[in-house]
Amino acid sequence: MKDFMPKNARNTNSPFFTSTASSNSELNVGQRLRIIRAERGLSIKILAELSGLNVNTLSLIENGRTSPSVNTLQQLSQALQIPITSFFENNRGHSTIVFQKSGERPHSIFSQGEVADLASGMSHFGAEPVIITLNPYADSGRTPIVHTGREFVFCIEGKIIYTVEDKTYILEPGDSLIFEAYLPHQWKNPNATPSRALLILCAMDERENPSDRHFLK
């Protein structure tokens, strides 16, 4: 799942994010970014050069003072060579089974909405399943998204418009769409109310991190 809600009042650093987590399931993206950057021995300046982002922007994100867009998260995930879902994960080891109770799954806020990670701890198993909540009138940006593998979308609530190549698909509750992700695509929520969808990104190349291309802006 360019980045998916405007800056959140909860104020965290989510990659899509912000803020101090008030519960174990709400993750601080800024802290995760700082930890991942430190694990790789990168200074903020070097990460800024690798990602094309401003040093001040990275500092604000790490300190939870601004909420990164999906595009920003994508740039960071590409620069760090990690799945975008890595920003949502707690520092748990790799899991072979993931069971989540409703309301307890890890989630983060990004500039277009909220992303709930359905496979926390199992980000390298070939697919990235997330539930995205898109803010009113949120969109993936002007630049079409392209990545390897396939993309599956199932609308849960509201309405989501996907444009794949030059064809437009309007998804309402119960509707689904799957397509080869090398086809240029974009998405948007045309409603004045939030929309929700199950999004499963299946990349052929694990290094590509397709979720980054969706949640960065």
The 10s digit of each residue's pLDDT in 103-152 is 777 777 777 888 888 877 665 556 788 899 999 999 988 888 888 789 99
Give the whole-angstrom CA distance, residue 187 versus residue 3.
11
Give the whole-angstrom CA distance, residue 31 versus residue 210.
22
CATH code of the region 11-214: 2.60.120.10
Average pLDDT of the residues in 75-90: 78
43: nearest Cα among 2, 84, 79, 72? 79
Q: Is the pTM of this model over 0.85?
A: no
Q: Which residue has the higher pLDDT, 131 or 12?
A: 131
pLDDT at 13: 32
pLDDT at 204: 59
The per-residue pLDDT for range 160-209, each reduced to its tens digit, is: 999 999 999 999 999 999 999 999 999 999 999 999 999 998 865 554 55
The yes-or-no verdict on residue 11 having pLDDT over 70 is no
